[in-house]
Amino acid sequence: MVKSYQNQLLEPEVATYPLVQDFMNRAFVTLQADDDIFHAMGVLLQNEVSGAPVVDKAGKLVGMLSEKDCLQVITQEAYHHGPAGGPVSQYMTPKPIFVRSYTGLLNVAELFVNNSYRKVPVLDEKENLVGTVRRRDVLKVIHEHEQKKNQSFNK
């Protein structure tokens, strides 16, 4: 699970960073757990995304499917002589780490530093999938924050 730093005192500069809800992707691709893996690969490629949240019939998060997960399909067939294909649920990462919409930017940055994830799902208090956050999104916000800080300093 994601570490929480809600009870720590924040330095003034840290407090100026936004929350996930301020920069998360609200338009995102999802996959169904029972989708065929080759269909899912096509969805990822067509939408030019490196991975997507996997949801059940009720729309609740049950996993994440990444490009890396998809590569298991061909290696399973080639090296293990298993059948290629099957449902997304067979290849996805189940019970993925997620963040809440009220998680701070630095907490998400730390999550990405300490894990190999490129993207994490965002859930609200009712466990509804409301967005995704990519490493690139965090980097962009930090870069914009530093540019604003430097502009203020140079005035």
What is the model's pLDDT at position 72?
87
What's the average model confidence in pLDDT over 1-19?
A: 52
- Asked if residue 1 has pLDDT above 50, the reply is no
In tens, the pLDDT along 96-148 reads: 999 999 999 999 999 999 998 899 999 999 999 999 999 999 999 999 888 88
Token duo for residue 39: 């269909």
Residues 6+ apart with CB under 8 A from 37: 70, 73, 85, 86, 87, 88, 90, 91
Domain coordinates in residue numbering, the chain: 12-153
Residue with token string 């924050």? 145
- Asked if residue 152 has pLDDT above 70, the reply is no
Contact status, residue 54 vs residue 28, Cβ threshold 8 Å: no
What is the model's pLDDT at position 153?
62
What's the average model confidence in pLDDT over 36-53?
A: 96
Beta strands in 31-128 (DSSP E): 31-32, 51-55, 61-66, 93-94, 99-100, 119-123
- Asked if residue 62 has pLDDT above 60, the reply is yes
Q: Which CATH superfamily is domain 12-153 in?
A: CBS-domain (3.10.580.10)
Q: How far apart are CA 103 and CA 150, in angstroms?
A: 25
Contact status, residue 106 vs residue 17, Cβ threshold 8 Å: yes
